[in-house]
Amino acid sequence: MTVPAAGDAACTAADSGARTASPPYATGAGGAGTRRVLSRSGGAATLVALALLVLAPVLRRYDLGASPPYLVAGLLLGLPHGAVDHLVPAWRSTRTRPLRTRLAVLLGYATIATAALLAFRAAPTPATLTFLALSVLHFGTADEGFHAERAGRPIRYPVSGVLARGGPPVVVPLALWPGTVDPLMTSVAPGAAALLTVEVRLLAAAGLLLAVTATVVRALRAGRTAEAGEPVLLILLFAAVPPALAVGAYFAAWHSTRHVARLLSDDPANRDDLAAGRLGPPVHRFIRRAALPSLAAVAVLAALVGGPADPLPATVAVLAALTVPHAALVAWTDRSGSAGTPRHDHS
C-alpha cells in the first residue's frame, strides 16, 4: 500500500488504446486471461504457505522467523501492491478523464493517509487496535473478491467469509503467540497489548473458528474445495510459523501478490497479453508504474525512522496510514462491480 504518484506519462499511450477490457465473468479470451493470472497467483501463494508449514519445525527449533526484521522485510516487499491505486478509477471507465481523476485520487489519498499517520502518532494505542480491525476487514474482503473474480461470479461479502479469510493473520498470532507478539506490539503502541486481555483473545479465537467452520461448510456445499481449504491452511500457517515471518510472508506473498494479479487484469493495456497467456509484459508494466510511488513511500519511511532506531514502529505507522485510503479504494472498486458494473467493464 504505497502513496500513488502522478508520473505515468510513459504508460499513457498504452492506456488510451485499450479501454475495453472484458468483465471478469466473461467467457471470451479476456475473461479466460483474467482467470488464468488469478489462478497462477493463487497457486503461488498457496505453495509459499505450504512451504513455510513444512519448514515450521526447523524454524522453531533454531528460533528463526520471530525477530522484527522478518516482519519489516515482508511489509516492505508488499508495499508496491498499492502503488498504482491512483490509476484504478481511470481504468474502470472511459467516462473518466485520466489526468483529472489521477490528481483527485492523489489529493484524496494523500489527505487521508496524512490524517491517519497523524492520528497514529498522536494516539498509537487506539490507532493500532483500529488498524488490526481494519486489517481483518481488508484482508477478508480482498480474498473474497479474489475468489469471486477468479471463479467469474459476482463479488459478495458474507460476514463469516470475511472473518474466516481475514482473521487468521491477526487473531491467531495474538491468541497463540502472545510472548512473541506482545513485545512487538508494545514497541509500536505501548498500551495496546494490555487492552487485549486473555478473555478478549479467546473470544476472538472462538469467533474465528465459528466463521471458518461456516465458510468451509458453505464452500464445500458449493463444490469449491480449494476455497474451503484456504482458511484452514491460514490457521495452520499462523499457528505453526513464528508470527513475524508468517505475517511478513502472508502480506508479501499472499495478500499483495493476489492484489497485484487483480490489478494486472484490471489494466486495459494488459488485455491482449493476458488473453494470449503472456504474463511478462503486464508484470513489467506494473513494475514500471509502481516503482516511483514505492520509492516515495520508502523515502517517507526512512525520514520517519531517521537513524539506527527500531524501524518497526515507523513501518507499521506508514503502513497503517496507507491502508486506510487503499482499503477504501479497493472496497469502492469491488462494490461498484458487485452492484452491477463488472469490475473490468470499461464501457
Residue set of the binding site for Fe cation: 81, 138, 255, 259
Mean pLDDT of 229-245: 97
Domain ranges of the chain: 9-338
The answer to whether residue 7 scores a pLDDT higher than 60 is no
CA distance 155 to 146: 9
Lowest mean pLDDT among 46-50, 100-104, 273-277: 100-104
What letters, b where the CB count within 10 A reaches 16 and e where it falls short, cover 25-51? Answer: bbeeebbebbbbbbeebbeebbebbee
pLDDT tens for each residue of 328-341: 999 888 876 544 44
CA distance 189 to 128: 7
| Burial classification of residue 230, based on how many CB atoms lie within 10 Å of its CB (0-12 exposed, 13-18 middle, 19 or more buried) | buried
Instruction: Look at the block and give the residue holding cell 504518484.
Output: 5
> Could you tell me which residue, 176 or 153, shows the higher pLDDT?
176
Task: Decide if 268 contacts 252 (C-beta within 8 A).
Answer: no
What angle in degrees, to the nearest 10, is found between the helix axes of 178-188 and 124-151? 120
pLDDT tens for each residue of 105-158: 889 899 999 999 999 989 999 999 999 999 999 999 999 999 999 998 899 999
Backbone angles phi, psi at 18, to 5 degrees: -145, 70
pLDDT tens for each residue of 37-63: 999 999 999 999 999 999 999 999 999
pLDDT at 97: 65
pLDDT at 96: 57
Residue set of the binding site: 81, 138, 255, 259
